Amino acid sequence: MMRRRQLFQFAGVAAVAAAGGAAWMYYGSGRSTALAGGPFRHYPFDPVAAENFQQKLFIPVGEGPFGVLDLAGPLKIRATAASFPLLPGRESPFLLYQTEQAGKAYQNPILRIESGARFTASLENGLAESTIIHWHGLHVPAAMDGHPASVIAPGGRYDYDFTVRDRGGTYWYHTHAHNLTAKQAYYGLASFFLVDDDDQRRVNKAFDLQLGVTDLPLVIQDKQFDAQGKLLYQPGVHEAMMGWLGDIVLANLTPNAVQAVTPRTYRLRLLNGSNARIYRLAFVKGSTPLDFTVIGTDGGLIERPETVSEAFLAPGERLDVLLDAGQAQVGEDIFLKSLTFDAMENEGSAGGMPGMGGMGMGRMMAGMSSSRLPLGHEFNVLKLSVTAGERVVAKLPTTLSQVKPIPTEGAAQRKIELSMGQMRFLINGRTFKMDEIAFDVKRGAVEIWNISNPTLGIPHPMHIHGFSFQVLERIGSPPQLAATARFGKGRTVSDLGWKDTVLVWPGETVRVAINFTHDFPGDQTYVFHCHNLEHADAGMMINFRVQA
């Protein structure tokens, strides 16, 4: 139940929004009906209209933008302002990581490296503001992690040198300058970091997959554009609170993307690289959701292939899936869609204000977004057009990899409470302070974090640096999520395996086990934060220190 004090704090936000003018008006007009599934108005490149899907999907190749770079030595990476044609024929200001290797130039390269190898790179800041790179999902010493305190000023340089201790998997890297992360990531500073190992090679061999051909890294992002086709990023008071939602959906930076496929199995390494949007992903033919098989999550392969028909993917999360495109006939299309859902399902009217028809606060705030595509609205992400080719039916292996459960006997329990106050979301009542440590953890300790999100909240994708965790249990899940929880203890397919980001829905408590064993010298301070990047920038982040 909501506490009275929170209501007042939240009412304060509403009052500010009202004073701020137009945005507040949306509450009573079109936005809230759209949120409730009301009339949707079409616009250029809107992802709801299937007929818009005509731009060829951008697929990374051996060099250039998002080229696959097999690391062969130290890299010099320069973060720089550039432009990029996001909408066809229009250049937009964009930020890029530029580098080169063996005479080839890359922008935002998909870095690929063998598990156990050494990674050496220097970052040069060619931007007009501070920045730093964080290696999302990697277990590295704090000094190599891209903690926001490590930012470098314009013209500055940061040297990275670490061993990739992680198992094979789809990791990523992005900017982490506090207060600037959301904007810099939105403008482009992010890409994949693929780690290879024997398990990964075994899977690709079993399905005869080839990176860039049938094994496709696919980053999903939503963005807004102005009338000139330039990226627009202007979070107002309520968007800083709810997160910035786009209304044009990009797959590998391609709006309304289409890709030809043949009747065989494809691997899609899905990354939600959006600032704030949550996707409820499904592959749909006509109106029929098709089966697909999840083989991996954030930290690499799961134990067994799991066949499902939908999965939620929150900002920061990855889902490695196999899709048999032969489920459709030649000439038919399969759409990767985000299905409709209610982000505030559990909220009910608990946070409602008098005279607001019992609408919850989170729901009301969400209704005030400037995006023409409300959170939870159904739309398409990518069209797969099935073309003639040999029908290849792949047999799923019984095991993919080993995921040893973290031994939790005698583990310390820690309460992590998400809440709100002073117009921002808080973790254990705190807002981020660069040099404040929220709590200490002992090196080698196993802890169980009970992450709870009050009923009147909104969903928060919670992310840890430095370590991965295992999801033990979900308690109090909203019905739409509980309906897909077939993996014991309320868990869904996105909760399996090794995770670094977990979505915590309103009313839920998610229990995760973390093993804080490491062999880095001295104390190590990392952040734990919400991966709704506007939330993180607004201070929904804490430092924790792993003591030597």
Q: Is 316 in the site for ligand C2O (CB under 6 A)?
A: yes
Q: Cα 261 vs. chain centroid, distance in angstroms?
A: 26
Q: Is 337 in the site for ligand C2O (CB under 6 A)?
A: no
Q: Is 224 in the site for Cu ion (CB under 5 A)?
A: no
Question: Looking only at residues 128 through 167 of this chain, which bind Cu ion when binding is defined by CB under 5 A?
Answer: 136
Following DSSP, what letter does each residue of 165-229 receive, concatenated? -SPSEEEEEEE--TTTHHHHHHTT-EEEEEEE-HHHHHHHHHTT--BTTTEEEEEEEEEEE-TTS
Q: Is 238 in the site for ligand C2O (CB under 6 A)?
A: no
Q: How many CA atoms lie less than 13 Å away from 121 in the CB half-sphere?
A: 29
237 phi and psi, to 5 degrees?
A: -65, -40
164 phi and psi, to 5 degrees?
A: -80, 100
* Tokens 């993996």 belong to residue: 487
Among 491, 529, 530, 540, binds ligand C2O (CB under 6 A): 529
Question: Looking only at residues 513 through 532 of this chain, which bind Cu ion when binding is defined by CB under 5 A?
Answer: 530, 532
Stretch binding Cu ion (CB under 5 A), from 182-190, 301-309, 336-344, 465-473:
465-473
Q: Cα 421 vs. chain centroid, distance in angstroms?
A: 25
Distance CA 454, CA 6 (A): 11
CB of 135 to ligand C2O, least distance (A): 9
Give the residue with the Cβ less far from Cu ion, 123 or 400.
123
174 binds, among Cu ion, ligand C2O, none (CB under 5 to 8 A by kind): ligand C2O
176 binds, among ligand C2O, Cu ion, none (CB under 5 to 8 A by kind): ligand C2O
CB of 146 to ligand C2O, least distance (A): 8
Stretch binding ligand C2O (CB under 6 A), from 289-297, 393-401, 506-514, 527-535:
527-535
Q: Is 296 in the site for ligand C2O (CB under 6 A)?
A: no
535 binds, among ligand C2O, Cu ion, none (CB under 5 to 8 A by kind): Cu ion
- Map residue 30 onto helix, strand or coil: helix
Residues that contact ligand C2O, how many (by CB under 6 A): 10
* Contact partners, residue 62, CB within 8 Å, separation at least 6: 68, 104
The per-residue b/e assignment along 71-96, b for 16 or more CB within 10 angstroms, e otherwise, is beeebebbbbebebebbeeeebebbb
- Map residue 433 onto helix, strand or coil: coil
By Cβ distance, which residue is nearest to ligand C2O? 136
532 binds, among ligand C2O, Cu ion, none (CB under 5 to 8 A by kind): Cu ion
Q: Is 195 in the site for Cu ion (CB under 5 A)?
A: no
Q: Is 147 in the site for ligand C2O (CB under 6 A)?
A: no
Q: Is 134 in the site for ligand C2O (CB under 6 A)?
A: yes
The 455-474 contact track toward ligand C2O, x by CB under 6 A, reads --------x-x---------
- Beta-ladder partners of 437: 543
Among 31, 139, 167, 176, binds ligand C2O (CB under 6 A): 176
Whole-angstrom CA distances from 533 to 14, 80, 152 are 21, 21, 20
Work out the angle at residue 496's Cα, subtended by the Cα atoms of residues 490 and 497, and round it to the nearest 5 degrees.
150
- Closest Cα to residue 274, out of 346, 362, 375, 193? 375
530 binds, among ligand C2O, Cu ion, none (CB under 5 to 8 A by kind): Cu ion
- Closest Cα to residue 481, out of 312, 336, 317? 312
183 binds, among ligand C2O, Cu ion, none (CB under 5 to 8 A by kind): none
Give the residue with the Cβ less far from ligand C2O, 134 or 238.
134
Stretch binding ligand C2O (CB under 6 A), from 281-289, 303-311, 449-457, 525-533:
525-533
Which pair of tokens denotes residue 485? Answer: 């929880």
Question: Looking only at residues 407 through 466 of this chain, which bind ligand C2O when binding is defined by CB under 6 A?
Answer: 463, 465
- Map residue 129 onto helix, strand or coil: coil
Residues that contact Cu ion, how many (by CB under 5 A): 6
| Site residues, ligand C2O (CB under 6 A) | 134, 136, 174, 176, 316, 463, 465, 527, 529, 531
Catalog residues that contact Cu ion under the rule CB under 5 A. 136, 460, 465, 530, 532, 535
